[in-house]
Amino acid sequence: MFASLLVTVALALFGAVGAAPQKRAPAQVYRKCTVANTVALTFDDGPYTWLNDISDALSAARAQGTFFFNGNNFGCIYDDVNVRRVKYAYDNGHQVASHTWSHKDLTTLSSDQINDEMERVELALQRICGVQPAFMRPPFGNYNDLVLEVSGARGQDVAIWDFDSGDSLGAPAQESINRYDQVASQHPSSILTLNHETIASTSVQVVPYAIQRLQQAGYRLVTLAECLGQQPYHRTGDAEGFTPPSHSRISVDYWTVFHQLTTFSYDALLRSYGLRFGSDLFILHLINFFRLLSIGTALRSSAPHSLV
């Protein structure tokens, strides 16, 4: 029992750490599509209420879009309904990508904190869709050298935009529609858009109009990856048969807990599960004890081949 628990902990720790591709150069930043005659319609801040409607509007027009998901912004990505929404978009051929876990301004964070914000969404997409995403959009479009360094190490390129529908800035639907009219008339070689799936009018009014207007202007509506001539994912495969956890207070997602403990983001861990003190904290301490024990065991067994 004890030995099998150790193995479980070690697998969770080292399996997860080993999952990120090693790419040491700073991330590439894309502000524009590079393939002529393409438009990438991209949607941030979900998964949320209107995701399936946007997916359907795109699919009905034989168009594809890209969703930059948060882990916990308008809701938790592991909520049953959100798991289904994320899978729905992916299964319908749209691209899924990371918008980080909790929509913090990454330029205010340490390297460990940026890693944590990115890793948890990558892990969620891996578990829900079976993919390892290749693109990340930093919240607010904000990044600095450290963000690019961490993103590069995680194999994530950074996607910004060259057209903003203005929806998150409070633009009414008609203004967003006018902006789409204007850019379609100007007819640049390609367009990389910014929209938010969390805004009702974007889903109900703006997106259906934009799809029609841009297609009439002769553009192909493709995923971000396709408009860049890149692959959307480092790896695809079967989802891990993930079923959303129940929401009793003690039902913590232990796999994620193990993972977060490796980055020592204890404070973030407690906050993200709404845990405070008492019995929940005792359980976390217990897990942490096994974590330290398993690391010690792993280090001892690898000692002849390492500097330890």
Interface residue list for Zn ion (CB under 5 A): 44-45, 139
Q: Which of 99/259 has CB closer to Zn ion?
A: 99
196 classed as catalytic: yes
Q: Are 184 and 32 in contact (CB under 8 A)?
A: no
Shortest Cβ 44–Zn ion spacing (Å): 4
Between 45 and 157, CB nearer to Zn ion:
45
Each residue of 216-247: b (16+ CB within 10 Å) or e?
A: ebebbbbbbbbbbebebbbeeeebeebebbee
Helix axes 207-216, 173-186, angle to 10 degrees: 10
- Judge whether 305 counts as a catalytic residue: no
Q: Which residues contact 168 (CB under 8 A, 6 or more apart)?
A: 44, 45, 194, 196, 199
Give me the least distance between CB of 64 and Zn ion, in Å please.
Answer: 20
Residue nearest to Zn ion (CB): 44
Name which of 44 and 119 has its Cβ closer to Zn ion. 44
Nearer to Zn ion, 136 or 177 (CB): 136
Q: Is 122 helix (H, G, I), strand (E, B) or coil?
A: helix
For the CB of residue 105, give the shortest distance to Zn ion in the complex, in Å: 10
| R_g over Cα of the chain | 21
CB of 199 to Zn ion, least distance (A): 11
The token pair at 253 is: 């997602």
| Active-site residue, from 116, 196, 253, 259 | 196
DSSP state of 273: T
- Distance, in Å, from the CA atom of 183 to the CA atom of 188, rounded to the nearest integer, reads 7
Which residue numbers are catalytic? Answer: 44, 196
